[in-house]
Amino acid sequence: MAKPKLALIPASQGSELFSVLPSSGVGDFDFSRSGAATRINSQGLIEEVEDGVSRLNYPMIDGKVVGCPHHILEPQRTNLITYSEDASQWINVNTTISQDDVISPDGTLNADKFEFTGNGSIRPNTSQLTFTNDYSFSIFIKKGNARYVTLAARFFTSPLAVGFDLDTGTSQSGGIIENYGNDWYKLSLSNNVTGDTDRTGVFYVYLPSSLGAESSVSGNNAYVWGAQVEEGSYPTSYIKSNSGSTTTRSAETANGSGDASTFNDSEGVLMAEISALADDSSYRSISINNGSTSNYVQIGFDSSGSNKIFGNIRPSGSSFSVPTNNILNFNKILIKYKINDCSLWINGFEVGTDLNGVVSSGLNQLSFDTGGVAKWYGKAKQLQYYNSALTDSELEQISSWTSFTDMAQGQLYTIE
């Protein structure tokens, strides 16, 4: 009978990730994070979440919250900007700043207006910043009278400039533009500077007359809030850093769900509806394990290539690695384990089988990692664990979208 033994359905924030099954609470995950973080709340506003509290994050499509929330787990990042919400503290050229001029994406009157009085720029970082390999620059911009915005990263031998069009909500290659509603967009770019001469750079914002130009037109204006520069190959959620020093959000962990009586060593099914933070070929695992890195049943994102999903059973069992369309969308992934009968399913389709499979032993917890390594960062919309192998019909049903709306929202499609 297809009733899960353990089910995590994100619906609460707190010191744990709360599982609805088992009803005793033994399925709750121990959660940790040092430092505050932000989330998108049910009103679509960016909201700060206290140190040690898990985050319930709502998906947005075209600037509006659509569908049910997910838990978001992110790696450690530091916002290197020291006044992320106060443009008057930045290094600005030929610019007039009007502080606290409009409502920002956090819903309060704390976003600044900037207007150029000549060919100028605004620069959130007041000193040069040095990176080991990768950086990401992100900033929230609301249109004033200028259509185009250019973000530029000036490095000695690896400069990068990307143009954004606020009328069409599009960007040049290398940029990401996300609609946060009320005409606010999060603009971002990332780059690798491993080969740069000194890997030290500065970050500019321009309001040009044409897409991608690194200049500003006198009289052009826009609104700005939430500047962030971080070491990493993709931008993460906004870290408020507005008190004159850099601010760090530590890596988030969630583990210790269930116990030995929850999991069946001989057979079972683990299902997760998840999406990645970036297609960066990092090894990110969710697993049933025994606390070690030798006995586990795991699923997640693979390090062997772009948009790959994997399933593994150890100490010596099955290994699956399967490409999918886009790991940035929510995918329903499922692994079935049973002696000589293991399989991997994605979005209702069986994508891998192993009729010579063996199983793990001593399974006693479900974790967003595997024995403390291969830590999982991403967005989780649900987890389910069944302590029997289930039929193919049941596996298809559990890993399928339950409605067209469910599927469309999972893929962040707009339905018109």
Partner 1 sequence: MANEIYDSSWWGNTIDTASSIGTSTEMIQGQFNINDRQEVEAVKCLADSIHRIGIQDIQN
Q: Is 258 in the site for partner 1 (CB under 8 A)?
A: no
Residues 21-60, mask of contacts with partner 1 (x by CB under 8 A): xxxxx--x-------------x-------------x----
> Considering the complex, what minimum distance in angstroms separates the CB of residue 68 from partner 1?
4
- List strand residue ranges (DSSP E) for 34-73, in order: 37-40, 46-49, 56-57, 60-61, 64-65, 70-73
What does the block give as tokens for 125? Answer: 């970082």
Contact predicate 39/399, CB 8 Å: no
Contact predicate 171/163, CB 8 Å: yes
For residues 6 and 146, which CB has a smaller minimum distance to partner 1 in the complex? 6
Q: Which of 1, 355, 373, 415 binds partner 1 (CB under 8 A)?
A: 1
Stretch that binds partner 1, among 13-21, 142-150, 152-160, 244-252 (CB under 8 A): 13-21
Helix (H, G, I), strand (E, B) or coil at 112: strand
Q: Is 380 in the site for partner 1 (CB under 8 A)?
A: no
Q: In angstroms, what CA-CA distances link 394 with 72, 98, 125, 288, 332?
A: 28, 59, 54, 20, 14
For residues 303 and 388, which CB has a smaller minimum distance to partner 1 in the complex? 388
What does the block give as tokens for 81? Answer: 């900007």
Residue that is written with structure tokens 């915005």 in the block: 149
Stretch that binds partner 1, among 7-15, 72-80, 96-104, 144-152 (CB under 8 A): 7-15
Q: Is 305 in the site for partner 1 (CB under 8 A)?
A: no
> Considering the complex, what minimum distance in angstroms separates the CB of residue 245 from partner 1?
32
Which residues are CB-neighbours of 209 under 8 A, at least 6 positions away? 148, 215, 217
Q: Is 16 in the site for partner 1 (CB under 8 A)?
A: yes
Calpha distance 260→132 (Å, rounded): 43
Q: Is 394 in the site for partner 1 (CB under 8 A)?
A: yes
Stretch that binds partner 1, among 9-17, 100-108, 154-162, 244-252 (CB under 8 A): 9-17
> Considering the complex, what minimum distance in angstroms separates the CB of residue 190 from partner 1?
31
For residues 2 and 412, which CB has a smaller minimum distance to partner 1 in the complex? 2
Could you check whether the bond before residue 159 is cis, i.e. omega within 30 degrees of 0? no
Residues 142-181 interacting with partner 1 (rule: CB under 8 A): none
Q: Is 66 in the site for partner 1 (CB under 8 A)?
A: no
Residues that contact partner 1, how many (by CB under 8 A): 33
Which residues are CB-neighbours of 412 under 8 A, at least 6 positions away? 59, 61, 329
Helix (H, G, I), strand (E, B) or coil at 375: coil
Write down how long the chain is: 416
Q: Is 373 in the site for partner 1 (CB under 8 A)?
A: no
Residue that is written with structure tokens 């394990």 in the block: 289
Strand 60-61 and strand 70-73: the pairing is: unpaired
For residues 10 and 311, which CB has a smaller minimum distance to partner 1 in the complex? 10
Q: Which of 132, 173, 245, 393 binds partner 1 (CB under 8 A)?
A: 393
Calpha distance 360→347 (Å, rounded): 25
Q: Which of 11, 109, 260, 339 binds partner 1 (CB under 8 A)?
A: 11
Please name the amino acid found at residue 63.
G
Chain residues in the site for partner 1 (CB under 8 A): 1-4, 7, 9-14, 16, 18-25, 28, 42, 56, 68-69, 382, 384, 391, 393-394, 397-398, 402
